[in-house]
Every structure is written in structure tokens, then in C-alpha cells.
Amino acid sequence: METFWKNAAGGFSGAPQPDAAAQIARALGRATDTEVYADSVAAEGGGVLALARRGLEKFILLAYSQELLGDLRVSFVFQGEPRRKTLPFGKVRLLESPADSANAAALRAALPHTAPQQIARRPSIGLGDRLGLATPGHVRAVAGTGYVPMLAQQSIREMTRTGRSPQDVMDDATWGVFQTGFRTGFGADADHLKSTDDIDRCAAAGFTFYTVDPGDHVAGEADQADAGTLAEAFEALPWGALETTAGDAVARYAGKDVALQSGTVLALDLTTVHRAAVKYGRAVAHTAALYRHLVEKMGKRKFELEVSVDETVAPTSIAEHYYVAAELARLGVEWVSLAPRFVGRFEKGVDYIGDLAELERTFVDHLAVAGQFGDYKISLHSGSDKFSVYAMAARHGGHRVHVKTAGTSYLEALRVTAAREPALFREILAFARERYETDKATYHVSADLAKVPAPDDLADDALPQVLDAFDSRQALHVTYGSVLTAAGGERFRSRLLTALKTHEEAYAEALEKHIRRHLAPFLDSA
């Protein structure tokens, strides 16, 4: 401990050995009457930083030698009034500073590992956190796997429904990374962005990964249109925005055979080209416009782009995927992953519904298209709990597959609540049953409310099992926004957060187990 302290005061940056970290955490805890997270202890700028907890409140501790006050590079970057203390390793000044947004920004500057980074070239998994408390469990799930997590991942829709901002999402991930001492890197995914305003808000918060969702511009009705209707709609596409002409588009694709690495040959006849362009042409133009806005907005800051067309009714054919990728490349868009609309149903919170053999055949071809255009990743959106799919996806795609999860971590929070705070969970379940028919309108789900049990029909020890049943699991999943914003957050949100903070270790353990189950097939195939 003394050696680490001397090295820290001398300018060393990094984490101590576990024994020294535990000793320093105990000493700081005794001096401040707090619980200090030993994993958070780090040296930077001539001082020692740690995250502490008093009751349910968390804050930063900064300890530094009184003699080195003039040389301390991080002094008073954090807000607070320093106190003089005598600790086992010497006389120090000790600053206690709140875990607020200003200090989160200061922490990201002081400890670069608490800030997001680019992740596309590494194995990755998306781990959305609708409550802002899941990062410690997510970190434990990925630790030692070689996978880099998207810890700050949330869509604007989710933020709106949970009453959070992009900055809230970023800051919560920062505090969780600091608490756990996680130093192998994480990403920040501004998910399902539809407008320049969405981009601007997330760029201001420091996101590094941007998922553009042009789904509102996908013409799914093209799948059923006849050749004449398609030809007419093709001529009416916004060719100016696409920076080409109808004639040039036909010449570029029609009549071509494209051989994929999978062995599939795409026969791009005129009708196939018309259908792909009519269905996705406007989405391509919208994606290119958002990408160019993002380039301008980010300036010299680096970022990564994902394109997502998964939230549409009609599946993306292999020829359509090829058209989208070819057009994006022609327009100068650079992207690192793409989420097609797969065959079957990737519904929220439950396993895959559909023909697994057909999914596998098309999945291999989607990967092959990605191989034609730089080998970008194929992203599985609504990817949580698709346990019947992972082994197949891992076998064919491995590290080229990015599984994106979010709501499943909220469901694990409810599982912990059901086990530890049954009265609160009963209220949430009853409310979800009331809200489901309304809230399901914006989702592709098939849960039957008649199969969701009433809370009064269940004994306390049966409550966690509700999270294992298809219909109740999905009903609880899609009603999260109503639950978290009921009565301005006072009815459930504040009580749920208090419960999870009280049972912090139980929530982390539940997430570690659950997310590891998602990763296991990919680790086994490596």
C-alpha cells in the first residue's frame, strides 16, 4: 500500500495490485465512514481516486499528499472542499465530490478508461441499460472474454420512454466503469437515430457509435407490388438525393449476376433491381444524409456507424442487402455493421420465432454480402434471449456478429425485485397488465394478455418464475416506459431504483449469469 501511494504521488497512473487496493479502500472508508469500491481505486495526476458509497449515495474520493498540492494535476477539477486526514500511508488532503454529470466529465478526462472508444474491430456485444444501474453486472459478464461491451447504448425512443437524456446514459456508464475498474474498453451506441437532432444530442454527450435507422423510409409494400407498379415507383425515386439517374441505376445493376462467397449467385434481373430500389432507395438517401451530417458534426472526432433496417415488416432479401450496401458505398458512406430485417420474428424479450433452417440459409448469405463490402459486422437487433439462434450465428459469423441487447437487463432487474421486494413487483406486474394492450402498439410482439398471471394468483416464491414465461416476460418488457414514468417516476421508478441499489450485488450477479448465457455460444466457437 505504501509503495503504491508513493508511486501515485510520484506521477504513476494505473490501478494497484488487489491487496493494496483493498487496503487503500479500507483506509479511505474508515476515514470517511463509507464503503469504498476497491476495484475503483486508481492513481492519476499525483493523487488516488476511488468511488465510495454512503447509504445509497455514491461519490468520488480524491486523496493526495499535502506536500504535493502544487503539483497535483487533478486537484479541484472535481467539485468539493478538501479535508486534512491522517491515513496509514501518511497525511493527506481528502476531497469528497458528488457523482454528478460535471464530475463524470471530469472523470472521463482524468481516467481515459472511463470514456468510450471505438470498438468495431474487436468482438463486441450491445448491453443497453434502461435504469442506469446495470454496468457493474455487464462488466462482470464480459470480463476476461475478450468481448468489448456497448455499455452506453440506448435509442432516443428508449430515452424518451424512460425520461433519460443521452448525457444520463453516458454518465451512468462512466460511473459503472469507474466502480468496477474496467480498463479493457467499452463503446457508446447512440441507437436507432432517425434525425439530425437525434445525432446532435448524442454527439454532444460524447457517443462514439451511431446507429442510423432509416426504417421510416423503407417501402415494405414493394414486396407485393407487380412489375408495372415497381417500374413506375422506380422512376419516381429521389434521384437527385441518390446522386444518380434511373437509367444509370439500371445499367449499374440490372442483368448482373453476383457470386457470393457463400456459393449463392444473385441474379439481378430488372424486376429485382426495381424492387430493391423502390423498397430501400429512400432509406439509402436518408442514411447518406444523416451520415454526412454526422461527419460534419463530429469534425475531427472519430466515430463508427451502423445501419439498421431491422424494425420493418418485410424481411431484407439478400439481393436487397446487396443493393443497400452497394449504394451506400457508392455514396461514400463508411459503416462498420448493418442490421437487416431477418426472416422470422425477432420479438422483444423472447426466443426466435420462425424457421431456423431458413434463417441459417439467409444468415450465411447476409454475412457473404458483408464480405463483399469490407467484411462489416452483421448486427442482431432485439438480439436478447434468442438462445436458439446464437450457436448458429457464432458458427458462421463468430466475431463478425454483434448481438444487441437492452430490455433483457431490465427484465433481470424485475427478477431481482420479484425475489427481494415482492410487494413492489406485484404492483409493477399489475400495472403492466393494464398497460400492455396500449404499449404494444409500437412493437412487433405476440404475447397474449390472457396468459399473463394476475399477481394475486401467485405466491411470493412463484413471482420470479413470471420472468421465465413467454407472455408475461414480453408484457413486462414492452411496458417498461409506462412503468418508469408513471406519476413522474414516483410511482415505480424511484422505488425500483432504491430496491436495486439496496440489492446491488444481487442485480450484478443476475446480470453476470444472464449475459454470460448470451455470450457462451460465441466463446465456445472462438
The 3-state secondary structure of 18-46, one letter per residue: HHHHHHHHHHHHHHHCCEECHHHCEEECC
pLDDT at 8: 79
Residues 421 and 499: beta-carbon distance below 8 Å: yes
**Pair (350, 385) in one structural domain:** yes
pLDDT at 254: 98
**Pair (444, 332) in one structural domain:** no
**Pair (375, 319) in one structural domain:** yes
Q: Using one digit for the tens of pLDDT, what is the confidence trace for 93-151?
A: 899 999 999 999 999 999 999 999 999 999 999 999 999 999 999 999 999 999 999 99
To which residue does cell 454496468 refer? 135
pLDDT at 517: 98
pLDDT at 74: 59
Whether residue 104 lies inside any domain: the answer is no
pLDDT at 268: 98
Q: Which residues contact 12 (CB under 8 A, 6 or more apart)?
A: 4, 43
- Residue 282 phi/psi, 5-degree rounding, is -65, -35
Last residue of a domain, one of 41, 72, 99: 99
Whether residue 234 lies inside any domain: the answer is no
Helix, strand or coil for residue 93? strand
**Pair (254, 383) in one structural domain:** yes
Q: Using one digit for the tens of pLDDT, what is the confidence trace for 416-439?
A: 999 999 999 999 999 999 999 999
Whether residue 442 lies inside any domain: the answer is yes
Structure letter (DSSP) for residue 15 = P
**Pair (320, 262) in one structural domain:** yes
Catalytic, 197? Answer: no
Q: Which of 189, 191, 365, 421 is catalytic?
A: 191
Q: Which residues contact 362 (CB under 8 A, 6 or more apart)?
A: 315, 318, 342, 343
**Pair (94, 116) in one structural domain:** no
To which residue does cell 459478464 refer? 141
- Residue 149 phi/psi, 5-degree rounding, is -95, 145
Last residue of a domain, one of 70, 99, 128: 99
Q: Smallest Cα–Cα separation from 78: which of 38, 109, 57, 33? A: 109
**Pair (157, 50) in one structural domain:** no
- Say how many domains are in the chain: 3
Whether residue 26 lies inside any domain: the answer is yes
Nearest-angstrom CA–CA distance, 278 and 30: 67
**Pair (182, 328) in one structural domain:** yes
Q: Which of 306, 347, 412, 471 is catalytic?
A: 306
Nearest-angstrom CA–CA distance, 159 and 465: 28
Q: Using one digit for the tens of pLDDT, what is the confidence trace for 61-90?
A: 999 876 655 455 555 578 777 888 888 878
Radius of gyration of the chain (CA): 25
**Pair (147, 281) in one structural domain:** yes
pLDDT at 53: 98
* Helix axes of 407-420 and 422-439: crossing angle, nearest 10 degrees: 140
Catalytic, 306? Answer: yes
Residues β-bridged to residue 36: 52
Q: Smallest Cα–Cα separation from 290: which of 206, 377, 199, 376? A: 199
Helix, strand or coil for residue 435? helix
pTM given for the model: 0.96
Low-confidence residues of the chain: pLDDT under 70:
66-76
Pairing state between β 57-65 and 90-98: antiparallel
Whether residue 416 lies inside any domain: the answer is no
CATH of the domain at 270: 3.20.20.70
Q: Smallest Cα–Cα separation from 23: which of 11, 9, 41? A: 41
**Pair (290, 334) in one structural domain:** yes
Whether residue 136 lies inside any domain: the answer is yes
Whether residue 338 lies inside any domain: the answer is yes
- Domain hosting 266: range is 112-221+244-407+517-525
pLDDT at 128: 97
pLDDT at 67: 64
Nearest-angstrom CA–CA distance, 34 and 254: 69
Whether residue 512 lies inside any domain: the answer is no
**Pair (168, 22) in one structural domain:** no
Residues 135 and 176: beta-carbon distance below 8 Å: yes
Listed as own residue / partner, the contacts of 251-260 with beta carbons closer than 8 Å and 24 or more positions apart are 252/326, 253/323, 253/326, 258/322, 258/372, 260/318, 260/365, 260/368, 260/369, 260/371, 260/372
What are the residue ranges of helices labelled H in 440-503?
470-478, 480-485, 493-502
**Pair (169, 279) in one structural domain:** yes
Residues 455 and 472: beta-carbon distance below 8 Å: no
